[in-house]
Amino acid sequence: DVKVTQSSRYLVKRTGEKVFLECVQDMDHENMFWYRQDPGLGLRLIYFSYDVKMKEKGDIPEGYSVSREKKERFSLILESASTNQTSMYLCASSFRQGGLGEQYFGPGTRLTVT
Amino acid sequence: GEDVEQSLFLSVREGDSSVINCTYTDSSSTYLYWYKQEPGAGLQLLTYIFSNMDMKQDQRLTVLLNKKDKHLSLRIADTQTGDSAIYFCAESPAGGSARQLTFGSGTQLTVLP
């Protein structure tokens, strides 16, 4: 079974702190994605990566950065957390070619910034 | 740009059928997907349909695709309380470096006893 794990299920941080969210997948997927999920807005893509050290901006990259030093790991960084970044963060991965193109999701990290 | 729309809420009685609707904009999508998100969890792929199909049935689930109207629906027969969840439709727009998916806002299905 594909497994996507995220470092924390719940996280509480203070405004201005630097926050690291980690995601690891064990299926040798080339593609990895970070989304945030807010009520009524669905999933919005923050950043994605299709290879090691490659990254591309999604729809809402402002206030975030990412790092992909190894194929299995994709990190989301909030350089200076703000209250409007309180949200559920979901990581996903997929194969770059072949198959259905479906994405596999981690359980999510609920981040609260106070 | 690509846009996927769903209604936000649906309530049904246990044992009834549920129909969740979705409209999408990218006619070049190869696959369209339905994902399910249970409370406190990530999304899981529920079913999918290839763009050259009109219908797909999988046990209690029926997916209907109307390419002309860009309309996708998910029917759940004999809905159970365990079906209460958020359901997302998603399309896979053509192009893109990483086969990004575009998700709808999700439909919260509540099954009443």
pLDDT at A34 over 80: yes
Burial (Cβ within 10 Å: 0-12, 13-18, ≥19) of residue B84: middle
Distance linking the first and last C-alpha atoms of chain A: 37
pLDDT digits (tens, 9 = 90+) for A36-56: 999 888 899 999 999 999 999
Q: In 3-state terms, what secondary structure has residue A40?
A: coil
Query: What is the chain A residue with the closest CA to B92?
Result: A101
**For residues B52-59, average pLDDT:** 94
pLDDT at B105 over 60: yes
On whether any CB of chain B is under 8 Å from the CB of A25, the answer is: no
Q: In chain B, which residues have their Cβ closer than 8 Å to the Cβ of A94?
A: 98-99
pLDDT digits (tens, 9 = 90+) for A86-100: 999 999 999 887 777
CB contact under 8 A, A49 and B98: yes
- Going by C-alpha positions, the residue among A77, A91, A76 that lies closest to residue A29 is A91
Residue A9: both structure tokens together: 């299920």
CB contact under 8 A, A108 and B106: no
CB contact under 8 A, A103 and B30: no
Please, where are the H alpha helices in chain A? none
pLDDT at B1 over 80: no
